[in-house]
Amino acid sequence: MRLFRSIATFLLPVLAVIAFQQDASAAGRGYYLTQATMAAYYVVVTLGLALLMGHAGQVSLGHGAFFALGGYTSAILTTRPLDLPPAAERTLSALGCVLRAEDAAGVPQLVVAPPAAFAAALLLTLAVALLVGYPTLRLRGYYLAMATLGFGLIVYRVLLGTPFTGAADGIHGVPGWSFGGAFTLCGRRDHRVANYYFAWGAALLTLLLLRNLIRSRFGRALAAIHDHETAAGAMGVNTAACKLQAFVVSALLAAAAGVFATHFNGGIGPSEAGALKSVRYVALVAAGGMGNLPGVLAASAGLTFLSLRDAFGTYDDAVFGAILIAVVTWAPQGPLEPLGRALRGLAAWRPARREAARRGAA
């Protein structure tokens, strides 16, 4: 049964991803692929958030800030010219950290190479996540929600108001990221299909890695903390450290998604750090069933794609607001939870009847 579920969990999405691409390409709707690619990167964010919210039981209303941190860091590093002495340039170039690229006007300039920018983005996000997470994860309930909301808003305001980060316009002209010539992470039409598979590969890989995490000692510790933090501590679980680790993992995933999405889009804007985006991620996780990773993947992919396709029109934000209210009001553990509870109750009932019968006979 477990093996069947494992196969289904991965085979179905893979088949769906392939089928979607085949259909879209055949029907000449290549732009669907672009939107689906962006959706994949947002899915990575929500999967990380699902680990944090569904398993560690911690709320973050500011996760867009991490996506923005990752994206902006790589954007700035790969588009702003560096001023290095030639010797330094030679060494770093040999190490693959910097390269000469043409800016929008065709002028060659020395910038940080995408892999190094990616590493820098992750390091910065790690530092920020530790700094923010350490004090705030001691908070409970709505205090944590408000603190993360405040953090996200500060990041948003700073990005919006600082000329260095492009203020309201954000950063543009972000170059593609070439992986040894075989594949380039960029938004150009002729690379659409390859980028689609890269993005969805990343999303499914994230699903796999997180699923492994959840089924491990770490995942058990998180579930223990979520269920009964006091007892978890009495068992020797360092609850503060575990929560922080979950927070950092989810932040790094969001940042990585931000980097990839920025190269794909060729740019990033401050709205990625805004409260509406962050609240939207929470709504998607809630709609998908909190800790239910495949559910979150499906819900995020579907709703984000529809949103990107403008299916909700001017009601876009309203839809997510309504989803948030509906899910949290009626099914706080996720829409499928009542069904799941019923199934589990059923599973427990039959052995219990047998045991009762056995005891009665004894």
Partner 1 sequence: MALLEIRGLRRRFGGLRALDGVALDVEAGCIQGIIGPNGAGKTTLFNVLSGLLPPSGGSVRLDGREIAGLPPHRIAARGLGRTFQTVCLFDRMSALENVMVGLHRRGRAGLAAAALRLPWQRAEERRLAAEAAEWLAFAGVADLADRPAAALSFGRRRLVELARALAARPRLLLLDEPASGLNPRETAELAAIVRRTRDRGVTVLLVEHDMSLVMDVCDRVLALHFGVPIAAGTPAEIQADPRVIAVYLGEEAGHAAG
Partner 2 sequence: MSTFLQYILSGVTVGSVYAAVAVGFNVIYRTTGVLNFAQGEFVMLGGMVAVTLAARLPTGVAVAVAVAAVGLFGAGLEWTFFRRLRRHTPLHMVVITIGLAILIREAARHVWDEKVRSLPFFSGTSVSSLRLFGAALSPQVLWVLGIVGLAVLALHLTFRHTLAGRAMRACAANPDAAQLAGINLGVMRTLSFGFSAALGALAGCAISPLTLTQYDMGADLAIKGFAAAALGGLGDPMAAVAGGLAVGLAEKLSISILPAAYEDATAFAILILVLLVRPHGLLASRSAARSG
Residues that bind partner 2 (CB under 8 A): 59, 61, 135-136, 139-143, 145-147, 149-151, 153-154, 157-158, 160-162, 167, 275-276, 279, 282-283, 286, 314-315, 317-318, 320-325, 328-329, 332
Partner that binds at residue 127, options partner 2, partner 1, none, CB closer than 5 to 8 Å by kind: none
Q: What is the 3-state secondary structure (H, E, C) of the chain?
A: CHHHHHHHHHHHHHHHHHHHHHHHHHCCCHHHHHHHHHHHHHHHHHHHHHHHHHHCCCCCCCCHHHHHHHHHHHHHHHHCCCCCCHHHHHHHHHCCCEEEEECCCCCEEEEECHHHHHHHHHHHHHHHHHHHHHHHCCCCHHHHHHHHHHHHHHHHHHHHHCHHHCHHHCEECCCCEEECCCEEECCCHHHHHHHHHHHHHHHHHHHHHHHHHHCCHHHHHHHHHHHCHHHHHHCCCCHHHHHHHHHHHHHHHHHHHHHHHHHHHCEECHHHHCHHHHHHHHHHHHHHCCCCHHHHHHHHHHHHHHHHCCCCHHHHHHHHHHHHHHHHHHCCCCCCHHHHHHHHHHHHHHHHHHHHHHHHHC
For residue 334, the minimal CB distance to partner 1 (Å) is 13
Q: Which is nearer to partner 2, 62 or 258 (CB)?
A: 62
Residue numbers of the site for partner 1 (CB under 8 A)? 209-210, 212-213, 216-221, 223-224, 226-228, 230-239, 245, 249, 344-345, 347-348, 351-352
Q: Which is nearer to partner 2, 23 or 169 (CB)?
A: 169
For residue 150, the minimal CB distance to partner 2 (Å) is 4
For residue 191, the minimal CB distance to partner 2 (Å) is 36
For residue 166, the minimal CB distance to partner 2 (Å) is 13
Partner that binds at residue 317, options partner 2, partner 1, none, CB closer than 5 to 8 Å by kind: partner 2
Q: Which is nearer to partner 1, 82 or 347 (CB)?
A: 347
For residue 283, the minimal CB distance to partner 2 (Å) is 7
Partner that binds at residue 234, options partner 1, partner 2, none, CB closer than 5 to 8 Å by kind: partner 1
Q: Which is nearer to partner 1, 311 or 356 (CB)?
A: 356
Partner that binds at residue 321, options partner 2, partner 1, none, CB closer than 5 to 8 Å by kind: partner 2
Partner that binds at residue 282, options partner 1, partner 2, none, CB closer than 5 to 8 Å by kind: partner 2
Partner that binds at residue 348, options partner 2, partner 1, none, CB closer than 5 to 8 Å by kind: partner 1
For residue 29, the minimal CB distance to partner 2 (Å) is 29
For residue 227, the minimal CB distance to partner 2 (Å) is 15
Partner that binds at residue 328, options partner 1, partner 2, none, CB closer than 5 to 8 Å by kind: partner 2
Dist. CA 190–CA 356, nearest whole Å? 66
Dist. CA 175–CA 184, nearest whole Å? 10
Q: Which is nearer to partner 2, 112 or 273 (CB)?
A: 273
Dist. CA 307–CA 323, nearest whole Å? 13
**Does residue 100 contact residue 110 with C-beta atoms inside 8 Å?**
yes
Q: Which is nearer to partner 1, 61 or 210 (CB)?
A: 210
Q: Which is nearer to partner 1, 286 or 323 (CB)?
A: 286
Residue whose C-alpha is closest to residue 82's, from 58, 67, 100 = 100
**With b meaning 16 or more CB within 10 Å and e meaning fewer, what string describes 240-274?**
eebbbbbbbbbbbbbbbbbbbbbbbbbbbbbbbbb
Q: Which is nearer to partner 1, 188 or 215 (CB)?
A: 215
Residue whose C-alpha is closest to residue 39's, from 279, 287, 257, 331 = 257
For residue 330, the minimal CB distance to partner 2 (Å) is 10
Partner that binds at residue 216, options partner 2, partner 1, none, CB closer than 5 to 8 Å by kind: partner 1
For residue 160, the minimal CB distance to partner 1 (Å) is 34
Q: Which is nearer to partner 1, 211 or 263 (CB)?
A: 211
